[in-house]
Amino acid sequence: MSKTKTKIIDDSIAVKSHTSAIPKTEKVRGKKYQEAKSKVDAEKSYPLPEALQLVKVTSCAKFSGPVQLHLVLIKGSINKVLDLPYASGKTKKVEVASDETITKLQSSKINFDVLIAHPSMMSKLVPFAKVLGPRGLMPNPKNGTISDNPEEAAKKFGGNSLQVKSEAKAPLVHTIIGKIDQPEKELEENFKFITDVVGARNIQKAVIAATMGPAIKVIVA
């Protein structure tokens, strides 16, 4: 894995200059962030309960943002839709493929986060594979988005469902475990569920962070 990819989940990010005349500088964080960062030992991996306590007290946002989870995998990839024990806090617009969907795609209108299709609709969606595929929207039997009962399948993708997908060119996963104002128990159960599916032995590094908060390394048991 390249150092550049690993830096995605690291706390220090260099700000690249767009002109050679201006020297490279580091992004300067505000006082509130610096205070939050001082509460976290960047070299330490915390037990999950302690990490969740820290993520709540180091949140710098004025709103109830998501608790991010970043994983570095040892090998392989993942692309699954999981039904979490508790809500992830991420609202998704689910669409069941129809002739109306085809019309929208012909007009380059994509206003949904998940596309569910009956097998009979797939031949109509194939021409749009190059548009839907890169966005992770092409229906696929592996993640349950092709179904003989698409209306019923659509219900599954609302509520507590969450797509966990690694990057195309690197063994990195960026997802969420809930919102900062959720009880720690719910965040803990969602974290464990995701890491159990990914496989604890296949996780090289796990980091959680609140919106605009510092990274907190977590021990994956």
In the structure, what pLDDT confidence band is assigned to residue 64 with cuts at 50, 70 and 90? confident
**Is residue 99 pLDDT above 60, yes or no?**
yes
Residues of the chain above pLDDT 70, percent: 86
Place of tokens 């989940």: 9
Angstrom distance (rounded) from CA 78 to CA 164: 7
80-109 mean pLDDT: 88
pLDDT digit string, tens, across residues 137-168: 999 988 889 999 999 888 777 668 888 999 98
Q: Secondary structure of 54-70 in the HEC alphabet?
A: HHHHCCCCCCCCEEEEE
In the structure, what pLDDT confidence band is assigned to residue 13 with cuts at 50, 70 and 90? very low
Q: Is the dihedral of CA 133, 138, 141, 143 positive or negative?
A: positive
Higher pLDDT, 179 or 17: 179
The full set of domains in the chain, from first to last, is: 3-9+29-89+161-218 (3.30.190.20), 94-156 (3.40.50.790)
